[in-house]
Amino acid sequence: MFSLTVRDHFMIAHSFQGEVFGPARAMHGATYVVDVEMKRPALDDDNLVVDIGLASVALKKVLDTLNFKNLDEEERFAGKNTTTEFLAYAIFEQLAAMIPAGELGPAASGLTAMRVSLHESHIAWASYEGTLPTVAA
């Protein structure tokens, strides 16, 4: 399996609901480093997994919808605890939707899986990995 990873970062504010979150129930901020690993079993005719420039632009586009936002005020997250795990999945879903739309270029049609990892710090991170639907080239 071949893979290509792109990285970026974003900053948010949020709070959580539920006793399990202790002091994180209060408003607090987080700065995440995001790694997106895209996978495919064979390289395309140009020996690419995916166009690294287009993958970087797509990730930035997704993160720009979150960066410097108070997630408690975002309608799409109403009533949700925007945990690191939850956000990894949300970013995965947005990026996955960009593939059939052509935003990651023709090489992306061969992608079979993707992993989104959000690093809260150098000692804690969470990921979501899933398979991607086949896209007609």
Residue 55 within a domain = no
CATH number of the domain at 87, please.
3.30.479.10
Identify the domain containing residue 7 by its residue range. Answer: 2-48+66-131
Residue 39 C-alpha from the chain's centroid: 14
Residue 71 within a domain = yes
Residue 110 within a domain = yes
Residue 61 within a domain = no
Residue 54 within a domain = no
Confidence of residue 135 (pLDDT cuts 50, 70, 90): low
pLDDT at 76: 95
Given a cut of 80, whether residue 134 has pLDDT beyond it is no
What is the number of structural domains in the chain?
A: 1
pLDDT at 136: 59
pTM listed for this prediction: 0.94
Residue 56 within a domain = no
- In tens, the pLDDT along 20-39 reads 999 999 999 999 999 999 99
